[in-house]
Amino acid sequence: MQRTAVHWEWIVLAAAGTLLITQGVRLSLGLFVAPIDASTGLGIAAVSFALAIAQFSWGAIQPIAGAAADRYGAGRVILGGLLLLALGSTLTPLATSTAGLVVTIGILSAAGAGAASFSVVMGAAGKLLPPEKRAFASGVMNAGGSFGQFVFAPVVQMIIVSASWMTAMWAMAAVIFMAAPLAYVLRRPVENAAAAQIPDQGLAAALKDSLGDRSYLLLHAGFFTCGFHIAFLSTHLPGEIALCGLPGSVASWSLAIIGLANIVGSLATGWSLSRVLSKHLLFGMYASRAVMVLLYLAAPKTALTFYIFAAGLGVTWLATVPATASVVGKLFGPRYLSTLFGLTLLSHQVGGFLGAYLGGVAAERLGSYDWMWYADATLAALAALVNLPIREPALRREALA
């Protein structure tokens, strides 16, 4: 049975709402590191290891979920992901060992969040939206994820302080169910007769072509360092702030400011994608991260410093996502966008695993995150440089009008 077409604004709102929930939950987990450690006595490194596994699982599921969405439609994949995320959040307070946290946070929650995240959601929206709406819509969808971080971080911290971290985790599980109806809007698109006549080379051939493309591999390299940066900060910024003798509220508001600033950054990126080459946007975003980290290291460690640092980093926090997806779409088209963009997100989360885990090791063994900050700045600078040789089609004149 053919489905009724949905107006494009509802598609964008459904995608943004889904990312608001999944990203809000995922990017607030750093607030749980100290409370879980205090409750279980497992140690910062052990809790960080579970969150590092979560970073990798979130990325590993992306190409698998993307391939399933490309074949069977995104609605079922997104709904399954949300239910899995809710299950993991519900079971986490019952975990009392490192292995238990790895299963609940590291596998269940992360895989669920990944199946209802960027590769599937943006891939689904890309197939449903008119071509002329896709660039700006990608910025709006990305802003939804950032708004989730802005909302979730202070609320989660408030519940942790006023009740307990277990209550906060169960509250997140309840909220996740609210996103379930949004999967219906993003279900399989209406079949287009003209599109059906376009030859389909098949997923295996598409993967072979993409993995042999130098530009695609360079994009992976840059996105790897992005994952290292995001995971290190989202997991360990609260710990860095605590080491500086500042209260937990500074950490939660810093994470919230990152999310708020990235709403602006995401919308600006969406507007810019039809006017500036994506690889140039990526160069500027990665280079700015290196500069911001170096400025932070030289600044006094006050609450105001962290708020300014969060605002500066927040502008590019997740804004790399629509720019990266744009390059993948330009190189290979929309047919297998969920799968091919999912593979770049896997590279992102391999970096994320290292950022989350090595940050915990540094804190436990060295008593500070100093070497992680220098590694983060160096990788950001390298990421900026590897984007410049990417082969990206030139902007059409009508796109600049």
Asked if residue 56 belongs to a domain, the reply is: yes
User: How far apart, in whole angstroms, are the C-alpha atoms of residue 252 and residue 24?
Assistant: 12
**In a 10 Å sphere around its CB, with 0-12 CB exposed, 13-18 middle and 19+ buried, how is residue 87 labelled?**
middle
For 278, residues 6+ apart whose C-beta sits below 8 A from its C-beta are 323, 324, 326, 327, 330, 392
| CATH (domain of 109) | 1.20.1250.20
Asked if residue 197 belongs to a domain, the reply is: no
**Backbone dihedral region of 347: left (phi > 0), alpha (psi from -120 to 50 degrees) or beta?**
alpha
Q: Using alpha carbons, select from 305, 343, 310, 316 the residue that is nearest to residue 327.
A: 343
pLDDT tens for the chain, 401 residues long, are 344 455 777 888 888 888 899 988 988 888 898 899 999 999 988 998 998 899 889 888 888 888 888 778 788 899 999 999 999 999 999 998 999 999 999 999 999 999 988 778 877 777 777 777 777 787 888 788 888 888 898 899 999 999 999 999 999 999 998 778 887 777 755 444 334 444 556 777 878 888 888 999 999 999 999 999 988 998 899 899 999 999 888 998 998 899 889 888 888 888 888 888 999 999 999 999 999 999 999 999 999 999 999 999 999 988 898 889 888 888 887 777 778 888 888 898 899 889 988 998 988 888 889 999 999 999 999 999 999 999 987 755 434 43
- C-alpha torsion 211→215→221→224, nearest 10: -80
Asked if residue 361 belongs to a domain, the reply is: yes
Which residues span the domain enclosing 46? 8-188+203-394
- pTM (predicted TM-score): 0.76
Asked if residue 2 belongs to a domain, the reply is: no
**In a 10 Å sphere around its CB, with 0-12 CB exposed, 13-18 middle and 19+ buried, how is residue 202 labelled?**
exposed
Which pLDDT score is estimated for 201?
Answer: 62
**In a 10 Å sphere around its CB, with 0-12 CB exposed, 13-18 middle and 19+ buried, how is residue 367 labelled?**
exposed
- Residue 396 CA to chain centroid, in angstroms? 29
Task: Please check whether residue 172 is in contact with residue 109, taking contact to mean a CB–CB distance below 8 angstroms.
Answer: no
Residue written as tokens 């959040």? Answer: 89
Q: Using alpha carbons, select from 216, 206, 220 the residue that is nearest to residue 345.
A: 220
User: How far apart, in whole angstroms, are the C-alpha atoms of residue 155 and residue 173?
Assistant: 14
Which pLDDT score is estimated for 283?
Answer: 96
The domain tally of the chain equals 1
User: How far apart, in whole angstroms, are the C-alpha atoms of residue 257 and residue 307?
Assistant: 7
User: How far apart, in whole angstroms, are the C-alpha atoms of residue 338 and residue 341?
Assistant: 5
Please give the structure tokens belonging to residue 302.
């006050």
Asked if residue 195 belongs to a domain, the reply is: no
Asked if residue 143 belongs to a domain, the reply is: yes
User: How far apart, in whole angstroms, are the C-alpha atoms of residue 290 and residue 194?
Assistant: 46
User: How far apart, in whole angstroms, are the C-alpha atoms of residue 155 and residue 292?
Assistant: 27
Asked if residue 194 belongs to a domain, the reply is: no
Asked if residue 399 belongs to a domain, the reply is: no
